[in-house]
Amino acid sequence: MTSIVRRLLFFTVLITIWETTYRVNQELAFWSTNMFPSPLLSVKQLYTGFFETGILTVALTESMQRIAIGFTLAVIIGSILGILIGTSKLADETLGTLVIALQSVPSIVWLPLALVMFHGGAAAILFVVVLGGTWPMTMNMRMGIKNVQPILIRAARTMGYNRTELIWKVMIPASIPSALTGARLAWAFAWRALMAAELIGRGGLGRTLMDARDFFNMEMVIAIMIIISVIGLVMEYFVFSKIEKRVLSRWGLAK
């Protein structure tokens, strides 16, 4: 049995149990019927939101634009910081300590300050998303630079590489696997930060989810949760996993 079939079978059984529980609850009312949504009705809300009202289409487009910009900035900023910290002892002891301290602060904690700084605009949410992704990217890039095999550095120096050439032609290429791990973590943290920020901010899937909750539309809440989960699965299995296989194969690390 292939992994795809096993996954499909698992989710089919899970949804069947969920729908059965929903129907039994409709008859016996173990819980409030308004608070226990149906998976099938949630799928119907997906269709309605995308193809009839367009609410989910607008929300998803807005969220994807934000995550695309925020994730890209986080990877760029995190890579630069990671290279700087990984190649400079002074930067590691000063800026590196600050990064370690800041990564312990949940990015959503910055939202109240960001709302004041950016006057409650979309930039406040983008700021939180960038912070969410920057620190894991920085630390993994630093780790990749620090863990370059000493034999590679010695060989490069023997060939007459100066410091700049050593960084660009040896350290950075050798740290690509760690950078990929950092990008994967940066995506996960940035995506979570986006959803959390949108719950309080404006627009996107997060705000739409809160609106659905306010109107006690639990099927719509579940529908948005499904969208969030599916995007996470797509990014993991169809983007990062495929890139990871190619990178590990290219670097001779594939099992």
* Residue 184 lies inside a defined structural domain of this protein: yes
Q: Which pLDDT value is given to residue 25?
A: 86
Percent of the chain whose pLDDT exceeds 90: 58
In a domain, 42, yes or no: no
In this predicted structure, the answer to whether residue 34 has a pLDDT above a threshold of 80 is no
Three-state DSSP class for 120? Answer: coil
- Residues sharing a CB contact under 8 Å with residue 216, sequence separation 6 or more, in sequence order: 34
pLDDT band of residue 157 (cuts 50, 70, 90) is confident
Domain contains 32: no
Residue 121 pLDDT greater than 80, yes or no: no
| CATH number of the domain within which 58 lies | 1.10.3720.10
Residue 255 within any structural domain of the chain: no
Residue 126 is predicted with a pLDDT of: 93
Closest CA to 218 of 205, 206, 209: 209
- Domain contains 205: yes
Does the residue 129 lie in any domain?
yes
pLDDT at 252 over 70: no
Amino acid at 1: M
Residue 221's nearest CA partner among 58, 51, 34, 52 is: 34
**Residue 202's pLDDT is what?**
79
pLDDT, mean over the chain: 90
pLDDT, greater one: 222 or 254: 222
Cα separation, 15 vs 197, whole angstroms = 29
Residue 29 in this model has a pLDDT that exceeds 80: no
Range of the domain at 66: 53-250
pLDDT tens digits, 162-172: 888 888 989 99
Token couple for 87: 């190649």
Residue pLDDT, tens place only, 37-86: 899 999 999 999 999 999 999 999 999 999 999 999 999 999 999 999 99
In the chain, the number of structural domains is 1
Q: What confidence category does residue 33 fall into, taking pLDDT thresholds of 50, 70 and 90?
A: low
More confidently predicted of 130 and 248: 130
Q: Which two tokens stand for residue 217?
A: 């539309």
In a domain, 223, yes or no: yes
Question: Residue 37: inside a domain, yes or no?
Answer: no
- Report the alpha-carbon distance of residue 44 to residue 209 in Å, rounded: 16
3-state secondary structure of 29: coil
Rounded Cα distance, 218 and 80, in Å? 43
**What is the pLDDT averaged over residues 211-219?**
90
Tokens 């998976």 locate to 39
pLDDT tens-digit map of 88-116 = 999 999 999 999 999 888 888 898 888 88
Asked if 66 and 132 count as a contact pair (C-beta separation under 8 A), the reply is: no
Per-residue pLDDT, averaged over 175-190, amounts to 93
